[in-house]
A = this chain, B = another copy of it.
Amino acid sequence: MKKAAQGGKVKMSDIASALGVSAMTVSRAFRGDAGINAQTRARILSKAEELGYVFDSTASNLRQNRTGFVAVTVPSIENANFSATVRELSRGLLKRNIQILLANTEYDPEEEERLIAQLLRRNPEAIVLTGAQHTAKTRALLSKAPMPVIEIWDLPAKPIGHVVGFSNEASVRGLVDHMVKSGRRRLAFLGGETAHDPRGAQRRAGFVEAMAGHGLEATRLVPAGAAPVGMTEGASGLELMRTLFPDTDGLICVSDLVAFGALAQCHRLGVKVPEDLAIAGFGNYEIGRICEPPLTTIDVHAGLIGSRTADMVLGLLEGTPLAAPLRQVLQPDLILRRSTP
């Protein structure tokens, strides 16, 4: 409970004068510098402990012009896919004691702009953006920024800097191909119609494209509402689909959560999955593995995106300047389960 500091805070020079050494030596002791006597170092660390010294990285950051954190924006941390990415990113960066400054854009580019302006003031060593949809001002800010910028979860046509992503369009193609191969022709897509969920929109576009590739018309496009869409929207979306396109025999959803909502609604309505309606999701969420029937889906390797991004950041921070920005393209996997025949 005694929070108030009794005196001023303890600093390196206090330790130094207590031991009759210079502040510089104390600094060296703390950084595990090579050129310091092991015994001196031990004395310093033990005295520091005794005095309750806490290293002040604010001062260190200013002097070294290194802050030791990376700024990260995500549309929503509540999405299990994004949080898996953040987790692995965080874990990877922790190896070098780099911390994450996280900001939620709530799927709003304007909010992203505000947040990035704030984050830049803190001098992060790199900026990681989930998604590639930005305002013009954000792009301008970031292209002038002195630190590396990495866009993840997308393959932007005009990247700001580096990229770690995958093709949402191509991934959906795998689902369509699978459904068509098993004889389904009257396919619908649920979700992805809003401007503020570019990845959803890309999946939807991929659906349209893939259908065209099979000579089929992609007329069955069902809206699910504004991002973030979840199970609730999946359930209501399934109803809407049945009203608009009652003869649909295969449904691809913008995410597993939506697919599960649709599946649960099918149970309630007595629609048999996959017999009456095949359903596929996207993202390989845990629920797709557990529900009955389990969901065919696309594993986008959300965690891997995070760890690869961490590796890229660490490489960029150590390495020599690069001629061209990096672009790492990951390959999502099609996971076949019983919700499709």
Contact = CB atoms under 8 A, between A and B. Distances in A.
Interface of A: 1-5, 9, 52, 54-59, 61-62, 67, 69, 76-78, 80, 83-84, 86-87, 90-91, 97, 99-104, 118-123, 143-148, 161, 230-232, 234-235, 257, 260-261, 264, 267-268, 286-287, 289-292, 321, 324-325
Closest 6 CB pairs of A and B: A231-B290, A57-B121, A78-B83, A55-B121, A267-B292, A58-B62
Nearest to A60: B121
A231 B287 contact: yes
Per assembly, the copies of the chain total: 2
Given A235-B290, A260-B290, A264-B291, 4 more contacts: A59-B62, A83-B83, A261-B290, A268-B292
A72 B321 CA distance: 34
Contact of A146 (B9, B148, B234): B9
A121 B56 contact: yes
B290 A57 contact: no
- Which residue of A3, A100, A104, A231 has the most chain B CB atoms within 10 A of its CB atom? A3
- Which residue of A5, A90, A99, A119 has the most chain B CB atoms within 10 A of its CB atom? A99
A166 B145 CA distance: 44
